[in-house]
Amino acid sequence: MPEDGWVTRPLHEVVTLHEPELAIHDPDDDIATVGIRWYGMGLFAKPAKRSDIKGETYYTLKPGTLIYSRLFAWKQSFAVVTGDFADVIASDEFPQFDVNPELATAEYLALYCASPIFARKALGRSDGATAVSRNRLKVPDFLELPAVLPPLETQAQIVAVIAAVADALAATEREADALAALLLMRREVLTNDAEQPDAKADDAFDIRLGRQRSPDRAVGPSMTKYLRSANVGHDALRLDDVMEMDLS
């Protein structure tokens, strides 16, 4: 263990399966069902009409509970139900758990269960019709898996650090989006002159068609890298997947 005071407990000693209330709606009601993003990236809501969903029984969500996707536990699909999902509903594919507050917080457990190490343990206890697409982690198997628990104070510190990193990442992404928008705007301004008349492309340039990568050019003695439309982005050349064809 990294520090004194850390313990390992089976999850059935740390959490209790929550028995949610049945969600009742009329066929014309607008509803939203819950989904959980892979790799611990949180919950999302999927709007729908109740009549559009056939043969499913849905349940209410309880804020503060730990929730996971039985189908994608091995893809780190764990989260905490937050207050803004109180009106969202879930099928029985998304079990919810109350957490013993003397041992852990739901926020820490969601981080722990969304870790790659736990994902490997979850995969080992999952089963289904196929090895990947239908691999379910059933509740009894989930409850037998271990939970590594630091002291509650340390749990709170871990959650705070991860939240700060997530906020910084989100801010960086917003800044990148703003800079990309500014780049496009400045490119528009700097490469155009409103006082000049428009010109047709065939008057301004010599235009030639490229060569298509036909099957007879997929192999040959003079394989040469070439740019295709997928390699040309609005802000850069995408050179991580450059193909080749035979050109004399």
Per-residue pLDDT of the chain (248 residues; tens, 9 = 90+): 456 789 999 999 999 999 999 999 888 899 999 999 999 999 999 998 888 887 778 999 999 999 999 999 999 999 999 999 999 999 999 999 999 999 999 999 999 999 999 999 999 999 865 555 578 999 999 999 999 999 999 999 999 999 999 999 999 999 999 999 999 899 888 888 878 888 888 888 887 777 878 888 888 899 999 888 889 887 788 888 899 999 88
Nearest C-alpha neighbor of 99 from the set 126, 64, 72? 64
Give, in order, the Cα–Cα distances in Å from 157 to each of 87, 152, 154, 164: 30, 9, 5, 11
Burial class (CB in 10 A: 0-12, 13-18, 19+), 91: middle
The whole-model pTM stands at 0.71
